[in-house]
């Protein structure tokens, strides 16, 4: 029943979330018209000029429309994320602190970019290590020092989702596993990867929902700010 | 097939994990004999004197045996957790920083205490708010300021597992949801609570395995140290 | 096999259900041709002039066709519900009595409107509170008195489906949870929300099928009539 | 982890729920010691003398201990429910109004009695029709008039759980389906019956959790009071 | 991977199944080209002139192509079944014997017609009772005598799938439940109806796969021949 | 909640089922006291002297108690089935007609005997072929002629449940698959075998519930009587 | 989120896998652009001239583009597999050794061809036996000697997936079961066949993922080389 | 229904399986009496003196009884496996060839020993690497050369089951994943580990049933003989 029209005046966007909680309410684009998206973006911006506005699962068409109104909007095409930066510069990230965003395969990259772009929108420095899954274990081992020194790591993996456990065995910080819906057959749209990560033998692995790059980016940002 | 004898010489306890990763390898007691438990504890202690040794899912009998060997062992009976403190005092926790450990009901408390005692074993200050589930929403609202100021919150809930979402809407920091196997019928041993937390509308909620208080305590400790 | 032709003469619409049970048989539109829909509507109307005729999951095209035949037909576009009012005015709803129809997010609104429009078709007064989910708990708390005084509340929520439990902790009357298929990943098309509501710690919460706004509206109407 | 000791001082029983919501907080006995049960019962009673105190899933041993303290305690052995009546007589139930509590088989009766005794504790008149499942359809047809005139019906069924649909086709009021964990093989501990009731073709059927007689009794009471 | 080309010379149609087992191998049309379908039909016909050839899940386009080659082909459009009758008349069905094919709703009819047409292709007399689901129980009760005298009954039902249990409580012969993938939400594409039928409290109910009208028709034919 | 006391006066045994439907109501023993079992047996016997009384899932203790009252009671220890024969001799089974009861392994035999003894109680001749599973396919091939000539076959199999498909490819009559809860790991208590049988490529296979030997015996008896 | 653009420079193809492990990294085509596919193929070829390059789930369009660049590319249209042969001839397969690739039905053939073509690309001789499922058991029995002499057998089956167990009872070597997503209703996209094969009573049966012909071909090749 | 008595004369042990297929029929002990076990062992031995007799899931009591009859019986207590060696020496294993049996944790060892002892009973040399799970990845990396040179590897892992993928990325031969039922919460008795292994990104990983050490041992033996 998602195809029915939605009246924007029904929406109650939580414009004070950034000042109250240090993270903005994201605008999830699928199922919303461009008019609705822009209307909500405007209400969020006018409610708090210091808060970046983040649109998730956006596409080119949405970006072009948003760009007309918000000239400073930035588009991460791979991650499908549009950021309308805060009007007040965010400068809280120290120069040394960084998070790692890691993927097992190439098809996990769009989810990883959603996480990375979300963190960057919140002023967090991101290092990316992509396509370093466990079937060629040397690839992740080469990143060992980078992982050890990170404030936290976001690890996106589909299929069997084993990579977060390996990263969890290397890191000195929390590892956020993001199961992706990549794979076929008994992957069941990401459920296998999800169960793998939940059952991880590395105790510093926590998990977010399947394909939820946005949530992982938010949590990584909150950790890096502590 | 868990009832067959295990030879301790087969085990390879990871004695350098604390120095390498800042968290010790926990000894999961169920299915191990007291002799095996003590043997592994000794090997971990001798591998690194600075690392606290943590035994999970322990009972009175195990505690009495451990106490004979390790005089300083501490027992959190409700959480089933025995800590053999580091021989070198851990002093990294600043006096103001704290984490919240929260439960929805009274039956979630044993899991919560496992988390709390793990964090305390790693030098983290813990504030406990128990039996404050959503069916009487005023109870959690009274803790609003405490939650806002915490470094992170661990929220244990069974049945429908809705509490982490509410805490996630109040906190300025990550919320670690711990689904518990409390409830009956369509709770399915914690699966309902697990799915609830994974699908949380609050993006700062991440999740660990069902009843995994130990993992939540480890992650909370790592966050509070950043 | 739903795409094969259906012969309307096979159907046995239960035209006496309204007089027998106080609720009409609804016409579920998907999978039926417009001819079939109108034929069934006519048979229901002629079987009982006092019964309103309700068509669910309808669209604009169906509405235009129905409107030509039944001039008084009313269309709730958001809820996809067409009502052909009773030829005899229904006047049983007292002026003070009302039900609440509540949603967690904006995408739950189409299901909510199906429930609301069904109840209104049966002469029940409806108060709507939309987009008041638990991640911003203050929004539902502001509606506390309205909920306390309602005859019953219909609460539509997808994702983690926690809102009915919170409303159940505030209400003095039954709460009908309607899980919606909104969300992604481990939401599993509404199953997470469904399990959440079934496991609710508030004992006055009962549940209907995923996206079943029509059923919720019927039950709310029957309760408000008692 | 349910077997660890619980400290009653951790519990926050919601003593004002009856005055606030018209239903008491139930004390779920399994996993609690007799001392804890009596302590919570005392706190609930002293918080509100007008509220009946209800203990669910109780056994003979608990009853004997409770009876010593609360002389007026009543024990429904089949339903496992102990009621400590309000000190102020509840007299809100009119003499004609009643609810039906119905079972498909004999093994569903304990769940049904939990529902019936809960409703009776709240002053509701109950009519019982047991062992009237659909394999001998004449049995439920003989109760047709009784069902038509009820304020609502609670229908407990295991195995295939088909009875609520049949009752839903006869009633003029809401039907609360209670799936029971009775059956074997593909019943899956009540899941088959649960899914059956959720998918009911009768729109006036709503559902509570598997074996949740207490919840059904509460909802039936709230409906009968409207 | 079903969309790749299939070479008909790979197929080994079991042309002797009718003479060996009294039932023909059906040609399941989806995923086969018209050329392949006709080629297999020809091979089956030439292998045994006495065997009727049955094509399932066929559509108009397939029918027109088949009709050109096999002039006597009969098309049951609702059931999607094409029958190419035996060249030798089948006359084994006595005049009094019949089976019932019954549906709960109108959307179950296409599955029912697949069953009915299969049985008719094998010379069995069929009586149809459609749209007689349990929400209006009087409809099936009116067919009581017809059901009692049948050789067996095929009962097609989606949603909660309760009808076979009721028929099973009336019949003097086996009842073949056919769960259909009709319904939404917690019906899960027919699984709810399937579990309902498997858990039936009527011991004379057996079950075939979801939407498997062909199988039900075959079994009913074999029973009626005994 | 199955352990609570049951009052036999609540039970409505369907004493006329044998005369109405040609099969008796079975008494499912687990969860019933011996007093209750005997009370129900007496009521069934006195309701219809022509009906055999069948008790399922019985043990030695129940048998000794029943034998004292009903001298002619027969006990099939392996199948756990007690039969109290009709006082009027049943003589309807012709001398040539028989059913096959077949198992894949030795652990399926208790379920098979429940089916066989049920059929024998209703006057049907039974041929048994046990431990003839597909891993040694020659064993079932040796029984080919016996299967071809049977009125129907009951095939009990756990683990992967493949045997009914093979028998279905040999038989000229219906095959009733009975999945058994034998196996470990991914067998899931019989679910794998159940799904296997439902998905059988042999269209003459129908299925009953896991371990439901009684149901299979009833259906086989009804078929053999046609 | 698989539809977003992928940057090939993100990919880290494992060009040394063939020399290191004796099997090449396959290029899984779905979700990649033709440019990306060719870029990865080039990098793999230039990394190791001795390794064959294998592209899976390819179509005609991809083949035409690949053929332009790699003149020796071979296309198995049914299996959707493109092989770019090693520049150095692979000659390790002795003339007598062969594997069997077997299917239950015709619709399993595309998966079987993926397995067969993969093995052939690695220099393994393949014998194919297609459409020999258990419903006509004589078909597989005729291949008994061929199966007994094979180095291993790959058995592809959908629906109930029983064929690997039968082959496992005939073979003197490992049997690799490949469940296919062929079937409808309770097949659940291959899950039934998967569970069947995992629960096989023949201990020499191992299993790969649903529709994973490539994996089966790789394993069969590795076995045939030992 | 597994507790009912079994008559050994019902069993058809497949005494020629070793000569026909090169692997013996195993005797699965649970659910069988000691008398039955010895009777079957005797029949297998007398059917083929060259075949080793293997009893799985045995305990001390069974071993003592077997030892009295078969003086040469060997007991692997950890793996629960009793071997009665062939009367004719098996000498087919070359001195260099070996398989690896690997576990992730200590609790997986009993399953691993079942596999190892089975392979040894069939004359295969086994190298064991235990407790080398991915959370301390250095442990498995130290075994890299041993794995590369093995004929095949059996990898037993519970919890998230990630180890086979890592071994699959190192080996030059097939890897047989054995999911174990070790773990808690969302491990679901081994299902998570099973799904992980089925979805492995390393294409040389195949899978057997949960805890099926015997099957893995058989397959490894058959591979090492090729």
Provide residues of E within 8 Å CB-CB of chain G: 1-2, 4-7, 10-12, 14, 17, 31, 179, 181, 190-191, 194, 209-212
Angle at A108 between CA A103 and CA A109, to 5 degrees: 80
Bridge partners, A75 (sequence order)? A82
Nearest alpha carbon to residue B192 among B202, B204, B177:
B177
Specify the pairing of strand G153-157 against strand G175-179.
parallel
Nearest alpha carbon to residue B22 among A166, A218, A202, A128:
A202
Average pLDDT, stretch D156-181?
94
For C166, the closest of B137, B168, B183 (CB atoms) is B137
For C4, the closest of E78, E130, E132 (CB atoms) is E78
Answer for the pair C197, D196: CB distance below 8 angstroms, yes or no.
no
d(CA F134, CA F35): 44
Mark yes or no for CB contact G137/F169 under 8 Å.
Answer: yes
pLDDT at A184: 61
Nearest alpha carbon to residue H185 among C80, G197, A194, A143:
A194
Please write the tens of the pLDDT for every residue from F78-97. 999 999 998 876 555 556 89
Strands (E), E29-98: 53-56, 74-76, 81-84
pLDDT at G93: 52
SS3 C154: strand
Is it the case that residue C66 has pLDDT exceeding 70? yes
Q: What is the DSSP string of chain H?
A: -TTS---GGG----TTHHHHHSSPPPEE-TTS-HHHHHHHHHHHHHH-TTS-EEEES--HHHHHHHHHH-TT-EEETTTTEEEE--SS------SS--EEEEESSSTTHHHHHHHHHHHHHTT--EEEE-S--GGGTHHHHTTHHHHHH-S-EEEEE-TT--HHHHHHTT-SS-EEEEE-S---GGGGGGHHHHHHHHT-SSTTEEE--TT-HHHHHHHHHHHHH-
d(CA G59, CA G75): 9
SS3 D54: strand
How close does chain C come to D198, measured CA to CA in Å? 5
User: Which residues make Cβ contacts (< 8 Å) with residue D104, sequence separation at least 6?
Assistant: D131, D132, D133, D134, D155, D156, D157, D158, D159, D161, D162, D163, E201
Specify the pairing of strand C53-56 against strand C81-84.
antiparallel
Percent of chain A residues topping a pLDDT of 90: 64
d(CA C37, CA C49): 18
DSSP state letter for G49:
T
User: Which residues make Cβ contacts (< 8 Å) with residue E140, sequence separation at least 6?
Assistant: E102, E129, E132, E133, E134, E163, E166, E167, E170
Residues of chain G with pLDDT under 50: 1-8
Answer for the pair G143, G107: CB distance below 8 angstroms, yes or no.
no
Residue H203: CB atoms within 10 A of its CB come to 27
Tell me which of A185, A189, A192, A210 to substitute to probe the interface with G (most G C-beta atoms closer than 10 Å).
A185
Confidence band for E185, pLDDT divided at 50, 70 and 90: low
Specify the pairing of strand H153-157 against strand H175-179.
parallel
Is it the case that residue A102 has pLDDT exceeding 70? yes
Tell me the CB-side half-sphere exposure of residue H188, using CA atoms within 13 A.
19
Chains near A with 3+ CB pairs less than 8 A apart are: B, C, G, H
Strands (E), E85-211: 99-103, 126-129, 152-157, 175-179, 205-207
Answer for the pair G191, G221: CB distance below 8 angstroms, yes or no.
no
pLDDT at H1: 38
Please write the tens of the pLDDT for every residue from B93-130. 556 799 999 999 888 999 999 999 999 999 999 999 99
Q: Which residues of A touch B208 (CB under 8 A)?
A: 198, 205-207
Cα torsion angle, E161, E165, E171, E172, sign: positive
For H173, the closest of G208, G214, G222 (CB atoms) is G222
pLDDT at D152: 97
Tell me which of C106, C140, C147, C192 to substitute to probe the interface with B (most B C-beta atoms closer than 10 Å).
C192
What is the value of ipTM here, to two decimals? Answer: 0.90
Confidence band for E135, pLDDT divided at 50, 70 and 90: confident
User: Which residues make Cβ contacts (< 8 Å) with residue E200, sequence separation at least 6?
Assistant: D135, D159, D160, E164, E165, E168, E177, F209
pLDDT at D3: 40
Confidence band for C79, pLDDT divided at 50, 70 and 90: very high
Q: Which of A43-47, C213-217, G188-192 has the highest mean pLDDT?
A: C213-217
Answer for the pair C56, C212: CB distance below 8 angstroms, yes or no.
no
Mark yes or no for CB contact F193/G199 under 8 Å.
Answer: yes
Please state the separation of Cα F62 from the chain's center in Å.
19
Cα torsion angle, H194, H198, H199, H200, sign: positive
Nearest alpha carbon to residue F215 among E199, E166, E165, E203:
E203
Bridge partners, D105 (sequence order)? none
Instruction: Examine chains C and E and say if they touch (3+ CB pairs below 8 A).
Output: yes
Please write the tens of the pLDDT for every residue from F121-178. 999 999 999 999 998 888 899 999 999 999 999 999 998 899 999 999 999 999 999 9
Alpha helices in E96-162 (DSSP H): 109-121, 138-141, 144-148
Helix (H) or strand (E) holding A155: strand A153-157
Specify the pairing of strand E99-103 against strand E126-129.
parallel
Tell me which of F103, F132, F135 to substitute to probe the interface with G (most G C-beta atoms closer than 10 Å).
F135
Residue with tokens 């052939």: G120
d(CA G179, CA G182): 9
d(CA A181, CA A203): 23
d(CA A167, CA A196): 14
First-to-last C-alpha distance (Å) of chain B: 41
SS3 G133: coil
Please write the tens of the pLDDT for every residue from F43-87. 999 999 889 999 999 999 999 999 999 999 999 999 999 999 988
pLDDT at G3: 40
Nearest alpha carbon to residue D164 among D108, D125, D113:
D108
- Average model confidence (pLDDT) across chain C: 88
Bridge partners, E152 (sequence order)? E99
Tokens found for residue H123: 């004359």
Residue E171: CB atoms within 10 A of its CB come to 27
Answer for the pair E116, E103: CB distance below 8 angstroms, yes or no.
no
Is it the case that residue F10 has pLDDT exceeding 70? no
């Amino acid at each position: 029943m998602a195809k029915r029209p939605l009246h924007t005046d029904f929406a109650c966007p939580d414009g004070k979330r950034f000042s109250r909680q240090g993270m903005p309410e994201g605008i999830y684009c699928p199922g919303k018209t461009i008019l609705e998206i822009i209307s909500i973006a405007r209400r969020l911006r006018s409610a708090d000029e210091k808060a970046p506005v983040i649109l998730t699962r956006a596409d080119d068409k949405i970006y072009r429309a948003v760009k007309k109104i918000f000239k400073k909007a930035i588009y991460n095409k791979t991650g499908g994320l549009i950021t309308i930066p805060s009007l007040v510069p965010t400068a809280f990230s120290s120069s040394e602190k960084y998070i790692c965003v890691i993927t097992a395969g190439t098809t996990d990259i769009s989810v990883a970019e959603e996480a990375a772009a979300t963190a960057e929108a919140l002023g967090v420095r991101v290092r990316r290590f992509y396509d370093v899954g466990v079937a060629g274990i040397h690839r992740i081992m080469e990143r060992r020092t980078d992982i050890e020194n990170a404030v936290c790591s976001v690890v996106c993996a589909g299929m069997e989702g084993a990579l977060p456990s390996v990263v969890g065995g290397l890191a000195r910080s929390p590892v956020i596993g993001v199961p992706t819906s990549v794979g076929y057959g008994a992957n069941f749209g990401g459920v296998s990867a999800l169960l793998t990560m939940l059952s991880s033998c590395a105790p510093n692995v926590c998990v977010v929902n399947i394909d939820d790059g946005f949530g992982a980016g938010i949590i990584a940002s909150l950790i890096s700010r502590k």
